[in-house]
Structure 1
Amino acid sequence: MTMELDTYALSDDELALAEAVRDFADRVVAPVSYEADRTKTLPMDVVAQMGEMGLFGIPFPEEHGGQGGDYFALCLAIEALARVDQSIAITLEAGVSLGAMPIFRFGTDEQKAELLPSLLAGEALAGFGLTEPEAGSDAGATRTTARLEGDEWVINGSKQFITNSGTSITKFVTVTAVTGEKDGHKEISTILVPNGTPGFTVEAPYDKVGWNASDTHPLTFSDVRVPASNLVGERGRGFGNFLHILDEGRIAIAALAAGAAEGCLEAAVDYAKQRTVFGEPLATRQAIQFLLARMQLRVHNARLAWHHAARLRDAGKPFKTESAIAKLTASDAAMDNARDATQIFGGNGFMNEYPVARHYRDSKILEIGEGTNEVQLLVIARSLGIA
């Protein structure tokens, strides 16, 4: 069972992209997903093929080696991948939103010329070091420091939960660090740290509940020295720049969540049609029909929510509240659909060989990462003038 995408007012080019990535997901990604999850290994050959398809360069100008598309197109690709494998989808999302986008948005011409071509070609990946043991939702509590000594930054501190930070093609991480104090507040800046820099340690990967094939590590910085020119954006603007990146990223996570919700629906519909109970297909039971109908409702609403936010973003209009609504709506949809799909599968839904089991484990992080759902509620409340 596959939902019809052309009912969502997609252009011919957008529909062709979505269908191409869906085909790639079904042919290339899905067959290796179980083993990648079981062995907790990011399949780099799949990442390379994504690069060859131009997926990492979708929302960037051709002058930098990109595809000249927009953020909406990127989200279509992320959604299509997430139907079958959230780990692969988050690898693309983080590679673009957290790896390449900060350089494109805030980097110098020299940084763009040096770093973007390989990132947009999928030949290199980059991470964004924001979260710390004591600074999650409260990113302003950052403790990692960077002091300027002559023409070098000296960085000390740690980061956690950093995606794409330890792959064989990871080129650098961009980290937030306290670089001083201004008007009684921390001055937070972003600094580029190449992999292999002395004192920069990519620690062992996490033992996670889900997203097992996604590359995620804690990072440690001990007197790490990088050139002063590795500052990304204006000094002291790191926190503000990060918030802008996060607003965009929430749309992409919403698209990922919508894809996951759809993957659960498709699997559950197919299973309910094939599974026979007391001589009849499971799908003939009204209780199952109602579960599937609600799952369809969630997918539809999640997709409409991220479509709206992405269209606003690409039109240059305010989208902060809409991105929060999209992330909240879609992540709830993914988690709820994963739960209901697992219930429909019964005992089989508890077996990791079935995609719904992986979605059940994977989807919980969608309610936490890129801003918890409680943070999304706070953003929405603030838009109403009540928080």
Structure 2
Amino acid sequence: MLDSLPAEQKQPFIDHFVKSILGKADAPLILSTSKTVSNDGSLEERIKQTAAIYGIDPQRIDREEFLLGEQEIAASKFHVKEIIQEHLYKENTTGQRSKNDELISLGKFLYTTQMKFEIEPTEVPDFILTSEKLSIGVEHSRLEEGKAKAYIAELWKKYLNPTLALILAETHDLTGVGNLTLDTDIKLYDDKSLRDFNNKVIKSNSLQIIKELADFIMATIRGTSPVIPVFVKTFSYQPSNELFCLRYNQDYFVRNDFTDMVVAGVQKKEKRLNAYRQNTNIDECWLLLVYGDASLSSGFKVSEQSLTTAISSSFDRVFILNAFNQACFELQRDTAKLVYVAQKQFRELKIKPIAL
């Protein structure tokens, strides 16, 4: 792993590794790199680049599904541009980049739901959609990810970095990639869970938690009989020639965090709802909450059961769009239920299991 890092990242990694072993690391080490898949390469090159991003053998990617996925993305780009091109890159009073981002999200929403409207960019609300029968005001807002990012950073600080340090301290020549997902909601001690980072009982048992996790990972890699900790959701191991590294896969928004983000997004826009209705001659007001791009949230999944509490709103309709894969849900007002309304969501990358 060390050899694969850029020169400017090697020393910070070494310093943090030593501090972790000594128990003196006071913050998670986050090293980020950007990787893109070139459309100019051959199919084999594109699959190889994609496999490198996922840390898997290229042979595990289903080629037929990969091609179908590429075709879906290309079709989406074409149709979304077709929907919004009349208004894209025009001057606006709120900042061109911001308005264009909102416009692209709206185009993805209309394409994935297959709704047919004329678009008029405005300021209060953000857009007016019109058809022969309806005039709809649409307000756009992004779900804030600050809490989710801080949560992941805290997981690394409290559990994952110490676990990785313990594994590498005991097995210096271990290679490969471990992909881990934790259940941070399950109750462990005194009705407290892993997410209760600063709770006294969790802190006092942190060394035991880290040891159980490290022992489980090592037993899984060695092929012995692992004792699966109750707080582990999934773990997979991919052999490689590089020093062992651990990746954390958060398959879902933290349920409580996701609900909090939706509530905050709705409440933020509710304050101006009367202005939206008064300033425009519209029949309905919709709220479009957007998350997902090439950032952290693109890896999250939302399902019809992702909300933990009922959410009230004075908007006529509230939609939640994943701008990365075009999944879209509609909030059922005064319930904790989401209804899947997308017709053009991208298929997920199909990865074959490891051949034994």
TM-score (norm: length of structure 1): 0.23
Larger radius of gyration: 2
TM-score by length of 2: 0.25
